Structure 1
């Protein structure tokens, strides 16, 4: 029976090494076996408890990201400790003790603990030479894990800063805190003859968003950080989608070809929509669309069109514009609603998220 423990310990260490390697070094949007499964499980439990839509629930939901960072590092350390303890255990009866002998399990856990934490106490040491070499391996593994964890956390929080900075920039540029909306930005760009400035801003947003998407592929923990509305990326990118949708569907392609049919508005819209679609595939959920959602979409379209007409902006034919607007909104509204609701932000009326 004692021969089983080293096998289990070796398997745990192998899976831990793969988990750290996959989480830290492979930028493919997935973590290792321990990290990915534990994150999803904790997320679902935390979300069921706190996803009630109240400000207090939002605050509790926002604490999950920092908690997961701490739990990930602690989990790696505990698995490393346990793996080497299981390997040491069958040989613990032969350890040399400076004081009275504790139990074999205590000895194995103690030697494994001070080895992987590089404390090097040494009051209990194996007599067997192979076990002493294993202690060196355990100490080296602990030192490497500590170095990787520190480097990972520094890089992770730098990426988190880019995410929140992008959301904050969108929020401030659109003037949400001052009561403005995406349609107001479009009107200002046209009436003040600064269309090129808005296009340049959209191009910058697209470039920064591409970098953020790459960061979220590498640091999957970023998906669990939920900031206040003015620094929340799902909220900010919803406004970017609304802005590009208005440009591409409602504006006259003859009068404003670069805004209605240009590469920048189309590319930014695709990048932003892809952000929500990839997260919706990851976190799951089924959205039910009611007649109220379509009616609200039509009312919003009429309000946008009326505001543009009042400002003297040249527009597409109403029916053509509505057909394009409705199709584009259908393309991003459901994944956008899914992520906003799952992350504790207000969704769209008429849409209901059902957990799978």
Structure 2
């Protein structure tokens, strides 16, 4: 029986060591034995609690809880693993410094715990060379685990800060509070998360000077976003109440920006921008980032069930067309030239958007954001067009 408990103990130690290695020292999404499944499970619990309590703010604590639980789990695996190894040695190879030596499992956990945490209480003394070497090994692993865990926590928080900076940068560059003429009477301003406003800011007066560098920086930040999530998957579970921090919002703005440049600008006038390596890099980087993150974090079937429509008769593609028409009008109003054949441009926009929209919508749904919060301007335009269409049909 002793060999069985010791074998289980060795197995727990190996699992903890491997998980720490591939989570911290070889951080690539999908390789984790314990931490990734644990993160998914905790996220599921937080989503359920948020539904029951009707409080989205509760989910904001999920990422921090995942970090703490994973660290505790690593430490617990090591302590219990070594406790199973030394349990049978109590009273023989490991004795109390005074009095009779207890031989229960709780005592084994206590002995393993103060060795692993390097407390050195001294209540128990190893008598054999094997036990002394085992004590040294456990203390060394404990010191290394605490050091690596603290380093990992700091790295995650630094990566989270960089992600939030990128999100805020996009948020403050993509909106001016413009109100659509169709919505002025309803008092519904088009606020942030508007790729059209980003294009307008770049192309004031019909000229896109220095735009390529900004686009290149955006593509670089996208790839950094991908690598930070690959290195620290727990970042995915830091879900803030403000939608401008959401992954869906960041991906929507970057992908829609690249798509609108390709379809809503006059090719003859802005050929050097539309066909530039900067725009191609933004489009390809965005698609690559989106597909990689979707494969890593979205549950099976999430993409197929993600698209949100205003009604069964008002398709997603119809909503995209209405948004495209709105963007073209906005660009024209600021002196930016648009394609001569708007319908062809709309067809191209819809075709390109099919490549990425479902994944973005799936991320919004998976992280419990409403699409109207992720894309407020687009949703407002689509809702307004739908109401006009509905009223027109009823009058007929």
Q: TM-score under structure 2 normalisation?
A: 0.82
The match for 1:354 is none
Aligned length: 348
Root-mean-square deviation (CA), in Å?
2.3
CA distances 1:221-276 after superposition (whole Å, capped 9, x unpaired) = 11111232333343133122222211111211111113322221221122223322
1:299 to 322, 330, 334: 322
CA distances 1:68-99 after superposition (whole Å, capped 9, x unpaired) = 01111111110110110000011113232124
The reply on whether 1:326 has 2:350 as its aligned counterpart is yes
- Name the SS for the 2:304 alignment partner: strand
- Name the SS for the 2:95 alignment partner: strand
Distance 2:173 2:209 in 1: 15
Distance 2:271 2:244 in 1: 32
Q: TM-score under structure 1 normalisation?
A: 0.90
The match for 1:226 is 239
Distance 1:275 1:12 in 2: 35
The match for 1:80 is 78
Q: Report the CA distance between 1:53 and its aligned residue.
A: 12
Name which of structure 1's ranges 181-190 and 321-330 shifts more when overlaid on structure 2. Answer: 181-190
Q: Report the CA distance between 1:161 and its aligned residue.
A: 1.1
- Name the SS for the 2:83 alignment partner: helix
Distance 2:225 2:287 in 1: 14
Instruction: Please show how residues 89-108 of structure 1 align to structure 2 within 5 Å.
Output: 89-94=87-92, 95-97=94-96, 98-108=98-108
Instruction: Please show how residues 41-190 of structure 1 align to structure 2 within 5 Å.
Output: 41-50=41-50, 56-57=55-56, 59-94=57-92, 95-97=94-96, 98-175=98-175, 179=191, 181-190=194-203
- Name the SS for the 2:335 alignment partner: coil
- Name the SS for the 1:101 alignment partner: coil
- Name the SS for the 2:47 alignment partner: helix
The match for 2:286 is 272
